[in-house]
Amino acid sequence: LDAELRERYTRSGLAHLLSISGLHVAFFAAWLNVLLVRCRLGSRARFAAGTLVMLAYVWLLGFPAPATRSAAMLALLDVARLRQRVVAPRGLVALTALCVLWVDPWAIQSIGAWLSVAAVAAVIWAGRATERSPRVVRVLAPAAAATLLTAPITAYAFGTVAPIGVVANLAAIPLAGIAVPGLMAALIFSSTWLAAGAGLCLALLDWVAQTAASLAGGHFIMIEGWRAAALWAGVLL
């Protein structure tokens, strides 16, 4: 990818949309579930088909840590739903992290794995903590929690923290949720009109990134390393 494009998405807090992240697997799984429901399959058949296709997709990607985390979490949630069990969030996150390490023990050194687990843990915690709060708080809290909890990691690895991402993601994630499956469908069916629709979403997504990156005070740049991580760990605390 072009360096200027990468920088734009980093400064807007949308860098996770450029990587093969757990969010992309979630998009894929959500649209796949819509198709399986339309096929009128039973819950067990839908689970078996959905899990197999999702695992095949992650295998095709090469089992990157964030995608593996997302696939494992979705599969475990489906197993719990089939068994009519209440899922303990901390146990789910911990078991998912262990699944990632079982697939690739060296994922412990992956910044992507750290960010993926930290972000999803923050989103789950914020969702539970604000479930009785006003709607505005419930909408902003998951993104704010994910930004704060991952800030020490991004400061250590990249030297950039982008609080503007809390707002930018509200517009960017729905656009990506249409663009990603649209691009997949365009590749599968060689459809120019699907490609054009997905291209429009990508153009709007890039406009959101460019606008958010240009806002004064929307991001902070520092020398990456332990000092930057310690500073943002203090902010988090």
**Cα→Cα distances 48→42, 62, 184, Å:** 10, 21, 22
Summary mean pLDDT of the chain: 91
| Nearest alpha carbon to residue 160 among 25, 22, 16 | 16
Confidence of residue 187 (pLDDT cuts 50, 70, 90): confident
**Mean pLDDT in residue range 40-63:** 89
**For the chain, percent of residues with pLDDT exceeding 90:** 60
The angle formed by the CA atoms of residues 25, 29 and 35, to the nearest 5 degrees, is: 150
* pLDDT tens digits, 65-77: 999 999 999 999 9
CA distance 115 to 153: 7
The percent of residues above 70 in pLDDT, for the chain, comes to 100
User: pLDDT tens-digit profile of 77-127?
Assistant: 999 988 888 888 889 999 999 999 999 999 999 888 999 999 999 999 999
Please state the pTM of the whole predicted model: 0.82
The label of the residue with tokens 């009109």 reads 193
Determine the residue type at 64. P
Residue 28 has pLDDT above 90, yes or no: no
